[in-house]
Structure 1
Amino acid sequence: MPSLLEQLSSMTVVVADTGDLEAIRTFKPRDATTNPSLILAAAQLPAYQDLIDQSLRASREKVGQRASVKEVVDEALDEICVIFGKEILKIIPGRVSTEVDARLSYDKDKTIEKARKIIALYNQFGINNDRILIKIASTWEGIKAAEILEKEGIHCNLTLLFGFSQAVACAEAEVTLISPFVGRILDWYKAETGLQSYPGPEDPGVISVTKIFNYYKLHNYKTEVMGASFRNVDEIIELSGCDLLTISPKLLDEMSKTEAILIKKLDSSKPINSIEKLHLDEFSFRKMLKSDRMADEKLEEGIVNFSKAIKQLEAQLIERISLLENKGSPALSAR
């Protein structure tokens, strides 16, 4: 009997949720996603130190020999994300998602500027826009930034999505893809109710993504739905048939070793239990988001945590460049 992973791959695009190149080689997904936390984790592995040094070298050359260490690191943050993305694209046939600095989540203009810079870096490596998804937090500002970027041919993945209001606004903005966070929704409800677990069909994150998926398909939105942030295999099973699912290496491994019949739960040709089409302006979006305490709290928490990961990566890079330049390492240009 085929494994759960093999069966899932026949009905859903499986995406690797990792910055670990070896894990991507092992599971051979079509697409891959990264975020600040994943890049931070990968950057601490000795196997990827050469990529970090490559990013620092390129950044030093760009900002010049007189630039401060902080200026080099500011530039290197984008370089690192793109270099990891470039290496991932050598392995997978599809797309990689690269995230805009979460600290820009409430600044539309700076988000647009950063997204254009990331795409330009990819283009310099000969990688076209169709292989890149720019990840942007699903704030009102982020969604409006994505709307503009999409019209420029820059495809966007709206992340940190927890509430229906965010999903509706993303569809109206005609973004390429959204990433509703299944596991983090479950985390909130477990903390709120004191329940230790939920059966798969009753999992609040599963219910949320199912609602969004059926709403999109009923109203013929082109925006793809990619469930993310899974806590267990049961959540994945309940969302089989979703457009895409981005899954951690640990759960991919578990599914590859499990033999059981997998039934397709979501069908784009047969949307069920959906609601009439909504139209949200900024006021109604904010009101609807605020009325959903879980979505409002988890969005803010996600932005804070991703921002912390970026600060940790910055500190790691400052330490690394200081060490290399003090040693006169050939990894960087001479000062």
Structure 2
Amino acid sequence: MEAKTTLTWLDKLEQQLDVDVDWMDTEYIKTMPDRLGLVPHDQTSNQLWVDIELHKQSNAELLKQAARELNGKSWLHIYTRASVMICKRNIGHIKDRVLLQTSPSQAYNEEKTLEHARLYDEEFKRVGIPRSRYCIKIPSVGPALNAAKTLSEDRDEEEGLPIATLGTAVFGLAQAIACSQANMLYISPYFNEIRAHNDLSLWPDVKDPATEHPMSARCVQMIETFQKLYKQTGRRQPKMKLASLLSAKEAMATAEFGCHSATISAKLLDELATLQYDEDDASSTTAQADKGIMPKPAPGVEFYQGLRQTPARLQKLAKVDPLAAADWDGQLASTEVDYLASGGAALHRAIEKDPIAQDRLAYALEVFSDAEERSRGKIEDVLSSL
């Protein structure tokens, strides 16, 4: 690899937080060091990305192999094994963890979510991927998060580690607090709603996303809440892995919020690698913001212990919510509420009172469930051909 003489936006972002790849294509991931100068930390995915992989001709034999090995088992077991096999192919090209998501169609069924997460655990163990190298994404609704709490208490005899989980499809502070109560390793708030990826008229393409994007306030409030909880309890809090980013400016804003990591699409990673970073450009909001960002906490330091205070220019976001319901009383979600009790009843009520969270969560689960159903059809076609 040729020595770099200039700093790209991607280089700068990696200095400030952990950059992940939100894609499963092996050829893309393994060529990232030479093309982009980056080895990603985590490889994230969801039912959409898995479905794309399962429909590729290049993965036809992999899927047939999983179907032959598990002929007579459920389609979900075949789906799970094939997904893990793709992760096995990718794990040598990343630094940290591969992530797969439990069935979105069963998000409101605690036992089914628990069963699927444990099936992933079995399949990862089968291919030699330890618990320290994977994480299970779980939709942030009450029943599924109760399953995540159970998984956090289930330590492997050999590794002594629980099954690490990530709370996905987070749109509001109550969901974030519930993820803390479920002892999750990560949360992934969606900075933009899923619809905006296909309908840019729904995308708030603002000049300075850190201060102007309507989701920024909620991101700042989640980070500050986790910092407060860590100081009060000394207990590890979920690290924020921001997702659903649509522009290079939004990607750079993640570090200013204080996120631990950002999971970024292949298209956006490519763009970040072409942009030259100029810290002396006074007109650049990215360069201005950089002056208030501390380096990543050192390895081994609890993330929220090493995190700095919210930058001065973002502090006004701590008490506002552009996405709140019209009758919002100005009070943020309370950390004193047990959002997981009674199957997540309090979380369900909080989501119902938050029209944005309710709508975007329902849509996310619908989109992922539709992709899962397409994968099921593909697997059943393969089984019928055996």
Q: Which moved more, 1:259-268 or 1:165-174?
A: 259-268
Render the CA deviation track for 1:14-44: whole Å, top value 9, x for unaligned.
1100111112112220111111100111222
- One-letter code of the match for 1:237? M
Instruction: Name 1:149's counterpart in structure 2.
Output: 151
Whether the 8 Å CA contact 1:169–1:280 is kept in 2: the answer is no
What is the SS of the residue equivalent to 1:183?
coil
CA displacement at 1:288 relative to structure 2:
2.0
Q: Which moved more, 1:96-105 or 1:217-226?
A: 217-226
Report whether the alignment pairs 1:252 with 2:269: yes
Render the CA deviation track for 1:68-98: whole Å, top value 9, x for unaligned.
xxx5533211111111121121221210111
Equivalent position to 1:21, from 21, 26, 36 = 26
Q: Distance in 1 between matches of 2:369 and 2:148?
A: 20
CA RMSD of aligned residues (A): 2.4
Instruction: Name 1:322's counterpart in structure 2.
Output: 384
1:134–1:194 CA distance, 2 compared to 1 (3 A): closer
Q: Which moved more, 1:13-22 or 1:234-243?
A: 234-243
Report whether the alignment pairs 1:306 with 2:368: yes
Aligned length: 313
CA displacement at 1:283 relative to structure 2:
4.2
Whether the 8 Å CA contact 1:85–1:96 is kept in 2: the answer is yes
Whether the 8 Å CA contact 1:32–1:97 is kept in 2: the answer is yes
Report whether the alignment pairs 1:205 with 2:262: no
1:140–1:56 CA distance, 2 compared to 1 (3 A): same
Report whether the alignment pairs 1:230 with 2:245: yes
CA displacement at 1:175 relative to structure 2:
0.9
CA displacement at 1:214 relative to structure 2:
2.4
- One-letter code of the match for 1:162? F
Instruction: Name 1:68's counterpart in structure 2.
Output: none
CA displacement at 1:144 relative to structure 2:
1.1
Equivalent position to 1:296, from 358, 366, 384 = 358
Report whether the alignment pairs 1:184 with 2:193: yes
Instruction: Name 1:216's counterpart in structure 2.
Output: 226
Whether the 8 Å CA contact 1:30–1:95 is kept in 2: the answer is yes
Instruction: Name 1:114's counterpart in structure 2.
Output: 116
Render the CA deviation track for 1:85-137: whole Å, top value 9, x for unaligned.
21121221210111111111001111111111110111122221111111110
- One-letter code of the match for 1:178? I
The percentage of counterpart residues that share the same residue type is 23
Whether the 8 Å CA contact 1:162–1:185 is kept in 2: the answer is no
Q: Distance in 1 between matches of 2:183 and 2:336?
A: 13
- One-letter code of the match for 2:26? L
CA displacement at 1:164 relative to structure 2:
0.9
Q: Distance in 1 between matches of 2:137 and 2:202?
A: 32
Whether the 8 Å CA contact 1:14–1:246 is kept in 2: the answer is yes
CA displacement at 1:150 relative to structure 2:
0.8
CA displacement at 1:171 relative to structure 2:
1.2
1:75–1:285 CA distance, 2 compared to 1 (3 A): closer
Q: Distance in 2 between matches of 1:302 and 1:250?
A: 21
Instruction: Name 1:279's counterpart in structure 2.
Output: 336
Q: How does 1:28-177 map to 2 (within 5 A)?
A: 28-60=39-71, 63=72, 71=73, 73-152=75-154, 153-177=162-186
TM-score (norm 2): 0.75
Structure 1: runs of 5+ lacking an equivalent: 64-70, 326-335
What is the SS of the residue equivalent to 2:241?
strand
Whether the 8 Å CA contact 1:179–1:227 is kept in 2: the answer is yes
Render the CA deviation track for 1:256-313: whole Å, top value 9, x for unaligned.
1111245446652224645786122344322221111010111111111111101101
1:322–1:298 CA distance, 2 compared to 1 (3 A): same
Q: Distance in 1 between matches of 2:360 and 2:18?
A: 26
Render the CA deviation track for 1:167-202: whole Å, top value 9, x for unaligned.
0111122211111111217949x99x9786333131
What is the SS of the residue equivalent to 2:169?
strand
Q: Distance in 2 between matches of 1:139 and 1:130?
A: 25
Q: Which moved more, 1:308-317 or 1:208-217?
A: 208-217
1:128–1:196 CA distance, 2 compared to 1 (3 A): closer
TM-score (norm 1): 0.86
Q: Which moved more, 1:93-102 or 1:232-241?
A: 232-241
Q: Which moved more, 1:241-250 or 1:198-207?
A: 198-207
Whether the 8 Å CA contact 1:159–1:178 is kept in 2: the answer is yes
